Chain A
Amino acid sequence: MSRAMTKRVHKALADENLQTALTRLMGLIKFARQIAFTGIDFESLSKEIRRVKEKSIASLPQLVEQFKSKATEAGAIVYEAEDAEDANNYVLKLSQKHDVKHIVKSKSMLGEEIELREHLEQAGIKVTETDIGEWIVQLAGERPAHIVGPAVHKTIEQVAELISKATGQELGTDPQALLDAARSALRQTYIDADMGISGANIAIAETGTLTIVTNEGNGCMATTLPPVHVAVVGYEKIVSSWEDAAAIFRLLSRCTAGMKMPVYISHITGPSLTDAIPGSILHGAGGPGEVHIVLVDNGRLQMREAAEFREALYCIKCGTCLNVCPVFASLAGQTYGHIYQGGIGTVLTAFLHGMDNAEDIASLCLSCMACKEACPAGIDIPRMITKLRASLAEEKGLPWMSKVAYRGILKYPQRLDSTVKAGSYLLQPFADKDSMIRRLPYPLNSLTQAISLPAPTHQPIRDRLKNHWTPKEVGKPKVAFYSGCIAAYAYPEIGEDVINVIKEYGAEPYYPIGQACCGAPAFFAGDFDTALSLAKTNIAALEEMSPDYIVTVCPGCATVIQREYPELTTSEPEWNQRARAISDKIRDFSQLVLELEPSAEKKPSRNRKITYHDPCHLKRGIGISNEPRKLLEREGFELVEMADADACCGFGGHIVLDYPKLSAAILKRKLKNIEATGVDTVVTNCLPCVLQLRGGLDKIHTKTKVIHSAELLSKCREAT
């Protein structure tokens, strides 16, 4: 995280126009996504895309050869460019050869990546963007804010001003009038242009065909009216067949625009031809006589070689990962500082623009996994970002503070206990009577800006539950309680609730005394050594009494133990086996209760309404979202769903520490949705979420309560 990035983040958060535009955009996207994805089997369609892309990238060298030979046979001229400079120079030379004065360009992310337009403009050639959004951004002298909607950060007033100025008319803010003006201004540019530049969404090897998708129709005109057409195409766009392309079409527009199909798909194979004039077949009949295809590497082939990052090449540039990203919804694309934004942008930037550039963007990830869940190519973006952080940590070392924290304290449970205890006394003077810390002095003041914090306990959970560290009764299912740090140090009483409630369900809970931090902070920062060491400590502690289940109250820990411990130990088979055994036993609290008592009857209504917040790592980490709801309803509560129940609360990643203002903005949306339910109790099965939501609600002085299921059930039992 650099100062420059913090500055950009703050600027975006304070920009009212931007925030207005983003709120509107997110509403539109939500609406479009609802329409686009009802009634289809997203999972199987996305699996198809995944299959096609995996296969294509695996056989890329052969496909490139096939594409080249077929396209050449059809009369196109294919050039392979190593990098941006190479590609730009090719296009510039070609323009000069044809004495090109005016170019029309349809949208191309690769064009943005290599800054093709700027390169041509510097040589005195006029280049007009023809996608209306891209044109608006060009008029504003900016870079696109979103890979699909370049001008999504603009308000109608700003757009009106730009189009008025460009067309020399006084236009109001009527969208239709603005569109009409844009259409006629652009129409003339196609007619005047000597060259058309496009990208390609897909390139089909079996026929040497370029496939260009637009909804506005600009792609058709820019590639047909001018006498020369140049397409810049990244290697990763090549697929084998028309059938493979069909698999991509089935989801592409649903993701980009909420439409079943793109309006126009242009398949272009070589230049236009005619045999109507006696003699030979002539090129250039009602369309370009020359078609040039510039295949661009610019870091892609290296990405293909890097096993952990290869899947970034499966990206079909649909923009979904931006549309569902809570950070993007607060900042828009320009804040990222590079052309590829959001989750996938982090990985692409690292390879296409250099590792140095990725560090800042990686710091903007909440690790909420919303992008992974929604990506039509099934790309595990959060995992790649973690790997990227690991490479950065390896290359540059961790910041010294993190090093001390992870390697000197986190690794040793007793040391961590005493550190927190010492801290709890130090912080005591800042806590109010109700044990909430509402204001901290500089330099910690930013931490309490958006949320109030619970005062750390003087008596960590290990001290409280040490009598529970061996199961006592035989014959009952043994349940090891893995608390995680937030329960251990902030909410030890909720840990006690877990033990009490589970006992009532006829199981024998206990607290494995040797447990340590799960390692998530180190893991997500890319410190895999510390993470591995903690994994071993916990595996040993958790397997000791051979539990039947391991119950957790922190889905972040559950995800790390269930998914990452087996991964972290792959090179040590014995540990790996033990990790897998532990992994299978991990349960969320609600999941465990339902398993212990699968056929309990629904309790009579308590006449009490509650709403439920889906923790990111519970829903998308270990796949639990129905169980908590089912348990609550079985217990007689009436569930009122909030909007976007599964959107991140803003606690994820290091955002809450690195960019507290950003975290606050994300939290604000969540609190609004909670408020809109009109319900006074929010249940969530994640203690970090409890911390964030309680802290946020405390700041805005509402009476709404935030409670973990275990706590709620325990309270109900006390009351009866």
Chain B
Amino acid sequence: MAAAKKELVEKFKAEASRAGALVHEAVDAKDANNYVLKLAQERNVKHAVKSKSKVADKLNLRERLEKADIEVKETTLEEWITQLAGKKQAGRKTIKQMAELISKATGKKLNHDPQVLLNSANRAIKQSCIDADMGISEASVAIAETGTLVITSNSGDSRLVAVLPRIHLTVVDCENIVPTLEDAAARIKPLGKNKADGYISSYVTYITGRNTTADIPGAILARAQGPAEEHILLLNGATSNRGAA
């Protein structure tokens, strides 16, 4: 790692920790997976939710946790449907296939109206976020200056995964750490791929450290309304080799 790069990572680690996040820099994919598994087991996690994350997918993180009997539910619609379909039914689904899958998952007979399907899926996804012990996200950008995670997406599940469960873990590829708030702004503006050109994602959520409140007299208390623990898992190019599941 180039010296400048290393410095950036160190700065990010220091700032995020100062703000109350718990940071682990994984040496490789195996270490990353083991770290998350150990964390989940130590914290008695039974149900986890995971919003869309290429980094976690490359690590096979979900499979690794599932093997250890921890339920992991995808929350981003496309991934949620793929997970419902299972390995046998890969590829993009027709509306009919979707209606079947969603009907089965929700126990209700649903017709092929996209809006109806979406509403049912939403309800199920929200409920799993509410019930989960742990949320897993990916930050597309991280800001060294302030130790901030930047989570971008067009769907709201990315935010529910980050705030509802009692433990939140975010994976970050060190390649995506930028020095300043302005650098982050430059990266974020063109990120929205799903909308017409020039749009940014519907949600760009900055998270810096652990949530707190000073509203109860006496002290500044950690864990206001969000998670009790904010974990950050840093990976150095670990996405290039496959995780040992």
Contact = CB atoms under 8 A, between A and B. Distances in A.
Contact of A224 (B154, B160, B220): B160
Interface in B167-205: 180-182, 185, 188-189, 194-195, 199-205
Contact of B213 (A179, A191, A224, A273): A179
A220 B224 CA distance: 13
Interface stretch (A148-156, A334-342, A587-595): A148-156
A278 B218 contact: no
Contacts of A393: none
B148 A261 contact: yes
A179 B224 CA distance: 7
Nearest to A267: B204
A345 interface: no
Given A220-B205, A273-B154, A191 B221 contact: no
A476 interface: no
Interface stretch (B22-30, B31-39, B111-119, B236-244): B111-119
A215 B213 contact: yes
Contact of A216 (B154, B201, B208, B226): B226
A133 B217 CA distance: 10
B159 interface: yes
A217 B163 contact: yes
B207 interface: yes
A209 B95 CA distance: 32
Given A225-B126, A263-B209, A281-B194, A286 B217 contact: no
A262 B226 CA distance: 14
A307 B216 CA distance: 41
Contacts of B146: 249, 260-261
Contact of B217 (A150, A154, A269, A273): A154
Contacts of A273: 154-155, 194-195, 202
Contacts of A191: 126, 130
B13 to A, nearest CB: 15
A242 B185 contact: yes
A286 B122 contact: yes
A215 B148 contact: no
Contacts of B148: 261
Contacts of A130: 225
B65 interface: no
A288 interface: yes
B215 A132 contact: yes
A149 B215 contact: yes
Contacts of B159: 220, 224, 266, 286-287
Contacts, number: 231
A209 B204 CA distance: 10
A694 B21 CA distance: 52
Interface string A259-276: 111111111111111111
Interface in B55-107: 75-78, 81, 92-95, 98
B81 A176 contact: no
Which of B115, B154, B189 has the most C-beta atoms of chain A within 10 angstroms of its own C-beta? B154
A246 B206 CA distance: 12
Interface string A199-224: 00000001101000001111011001
A206 to B, nearest CB: 8
A284 interface: yes
A263 B221 CA distance: 13
A263 B204 contact: no
B221 A266 contact: no
Contact of B205 (A175, A179, A216, A267): A267
A179 B215 CA distance: 9
B205 A285 contact: no
Given A287-B156, A287-B202, A221 B122 contact: no
Given A224-B160, A282-B114, A276 B77 contact: yes
B212 A263 contact: yes
A278 B164 CA distance: 29
A257 B212 CA distance: 10
Contacts of A131: 215
B213 A132 contact: yes
A130 B213 CA distance: 12
A266 B162 CA distance: 12
Given A286-B125, A287-B156, A156 B77 contact: no
Contact of A218 (B117, B122, B225): B225
Contacts of B218: 24, 156, 175
A266 B220 CA distance: 22
A287 B155 contact: yes
Contacts of A243: 181-182, 185
A265 B141 CA distance: 14
Contact of B126 (A73, A176, A271, A286): A286
Nearest to A137: B215
Closest 5 CB pairs of A and B: A287-B156, A217-B226, A242-B185, A216-B224, A286-B157
29 contacts: A151-B215, A159-B217, A175-B218, A179-B216, A182-B216, A183-B223, A191-B126, A207-B189, A215-B212, A216-B213, A221-B163, A261-B146, A263-B209, A264-B205, A264-B208, A266-B203, A266-B206, A267-B200, A267-B203, A268-B203, A270-B202, A272-B156, A272-B202, A274-B78, A276-B77, A278-B95, A282-B118, A285-B156, A286-B158
